[in-house]
Chain A
């Protein structure tokens, strides 16, 4: 059964339309990631699912029941906020137990649930502390723990890692993935970081300007993008977009990922000069200025020595190229 169904959902703030008709079905147990640039409406969509924003039109259904007019409290969801939203005056234990206490559970039952969640997240030594005494990573874990305690039908995450430093972000990402496997729960996760989306998701929803651009498994989006926006947004460094006409093709735009652009000092289709080289150890990124195609990126594995201002030749790997029409839609 679908854990969450959105039917032609829209949202307007006054005259501005933020969500312009979204249809989506999320299966029970699925990890679904909303990704898109800032301002695309992904957080608003999540908040509409939570009930923190009203739906202007369309239907939101959780486990088959229409919840448009149901208060957030009654939707059996849990949400982890970007700022963690821990109550500063309560201890970690009371933060985690508040919802159950409000629901009228006995002290013993609350304590048992909190202890269980704390054990999963290694929070036991912190239970008596207040949020101000915790590090950013610890606060994040408490916020997740507070969500787990309620055993909700649906977990909502609103950019939960964006306030953490890079190393902690990777560690917490792995922890969330493990949590999803252990709990077997349905999770919806909002991020602007396509790497987070790729590593965590069963299915990714790419949003732009309040519309869904494409829905699919991470590798489907990477290997089979529907349009230039998805092709450009998924994958790092970004895909090169070439004027296909200049290369004798019939399509308007040809997309080639940096690793599928061959570089040579002797012969190739496109001539250019090296403008910058980034050596990352495992790989080398070469940025080339071309007269006909603008700035292109080439990704090479291992160490390579290219000098700035050196003249080079580039050749796209035709079999791995994507073709798009003038409107940016994929030609298959």
Chain B
């Protein structure tokens, strides 16, 4: 036994080091993904007997208006959330100076990311609050007529996305600040000697060097947009009339809230969301895989 260990130590060691982490990760993450896929073929209230209904949940989904509303909102989230990338870059460029107190400015600009989304949601609810909210007042002064953003089906999703963008821009900003800090100074100087400045400098010299930061920024923003749940739950609870639902929230509503314990139907929604996300995840993994194997 001891001789065997001595001989194969370097073969066995990695698996011994991996075992606890991999076991936990498999139990709580990998296996549940497949369990959810299985549950999506059952009718199940979470307690009683599971009844096999085949693809009935998915068939129901095709005719579910609420599902399409959620899907549409997810697309809006995804597109608008990506504004965080250029916005974060702009703020990073604005703050990339060495004047007195700039470190404090950078920290304070980053501040919204540290706060829980629950708190961010409450802050923006107050900001939008009808009759006395700061934003409401502002609109009222400009147009003479206030708008209750969170109670208006036309604006509610955009209102929540703005709240989501606030911390997300802060996150992207810090990624770019670090990236700008590591831009090779000799290349910038060489480009200046060649007469590049302003936008052309940004586009042809700086942005190519910021590519790793841009990649991470896009990854975290896309994942963040598709994961959006907290803000919807806190600010509107999906309302008014379900108009601000996103897939993650609709799934939770179907499976766990007062609307009923339809675990199978919820699982089917989750599988759709998972499939959408897998498109992006596969892309990221493919790029990372290429970088790893090229080395």
Contacts and interface: CB of A to CB of B under 8 A. Distances in A.
Asked if A and B touch directly (CB within 8 angstroms), the answer is yes
Interface in B8-39: 9-10
Nearest to B7: A69
Give the secondary structure class of A's interface: loop
Contacts of B7: 69
Interface in A139-179: none
A71 B6 CA distance: 9
Contacts of A69: 7
Contacts of A71: 6, 9-10
Nearest to B6: A71
Contacts of B10: 71
B2 to A, nearest CB: 14
Contacts of B9: 71
* Contact-size category for B: under 10
Interface string B106-118: 0000000000000
A71 B5 CA distance: 12
Give the secondary structure class of B's interface: helix
Interface residues of A, number: 2
A71 B8 CA distance: 10
B89 to A, nearest CB: 36
Interface in A232-291: none
A71 B9 CA distance: 9
Nearest to B10: A71
A71 B7 CA distance: 8
Interface string A40-76: 0000000000000000000000000000010100000
A132 to B, nearest CB: 22
A71 B10 CA distance: 9
Contacts of B6: 71
A76 to B, nearest CB: 16
A103 B83 CA distance: 59
Nearest to B9: A71
A311 to B, nearest CB: 44
A71 B3 CA distance: 13
B178 to A, nearest CB: 24
Interface string B91-120: 000000000000000000000000000000
B119 to A, nearest CB: 40
A146 B9 CA distance: 25
Interface string A108-144: 0000000000000000000000000000000000000
A48 to B, nearest CB: 16
Nearest to A69: B7
A69 B7 CA distance: 8
A143 to B, nearest CB: 24
A69 B6 CA distance: 11
A71 B13 CA distance: 14
B262 to A, nearest CB: 53
Interface in B52-88: none
A37 B155 CA distance: 70
Interface string A288-299: 000000000000
A69 B8 CA distance: 10
B41 to A, nearest CB: 44
A131 B5 CA distance: 34
Interface string A64-96: 000001010000000000000000000000000
A281 B186 CA distance: 38
A36 B61 CA distance: 70
Interface of B: 6-7, 9-10
Sort A-B residue pairs by CB-CB distance and give the 4 closest, nearest first: A71-B10, A71-B9, A69-B7, A71-B6
Interface of A: 69, 71
4 contacts: A69-B7, A71-B6, A71-B9, A71-B10
